[in-house]
Amino acid sequence: MNPISQENADVNAAIDAELQLLDPAVRTSRALAARLLDPEFVEVGASGRRWTYEEMLAALPDLDGGSGSGEGDGNRPRFEPSRMVGVVLASGIVHLTYETDFDGRRARRSSLWRRQDGETGWRMYYHQATPVPAGD
């Protein structure tokens, strides 16, 4: 595969994985989420809180976009992503940026995805969310 095709494939794979992490079915499944988060994962959330891999896996089902306290997802708000773009920063590293709307609250998001040598799947290594001020 030529380098440009490989870069496009890598970006598309990272976007697909990011979209999976926004899916309530994945957010409520520790096993599914664990396959998408890097063991060295760190997040700085929109609240400013710092999350580690284990903290995120434990909390994810109850965070926004999950099913919460056993309710079905049909009536619950979902993350609506837009303007998602990515760029390959180096071999095995993809940077994604996008915005989300969640029940009227917007955030700008940035994720670093990495694929370690010998691995076939991409895992989120770092994520940051920043609230978008009203009217912006």
pLDDT in tens, 83-125: 999 999 999 999 999 999 998 899 999 999 999 887 779 999 9
Predicted TM-score (pTM) of this structure: 0.88
Q: Which is higher by pLDDT, 87 or 133?
A: 87
3-class SS letters over the chain: CCHHHHHHHHHHHHHHHHHHHHCHHHHCCHHHHHHHEEEEEEEECCCCCEEEHHHHHHHHHHCCCCCCCCCCCCCCCCCEEEEEEEEEEECCEEEEEEEEEECCEEEEEEEEEECCCCCCCCEEEEEEEEECCCCC
Instruction: Express each pLDDT in 33-79 by its tens digit.
Output: 999 999 999 999 888 899 999 999 999 998 888 765 444 445 678 89
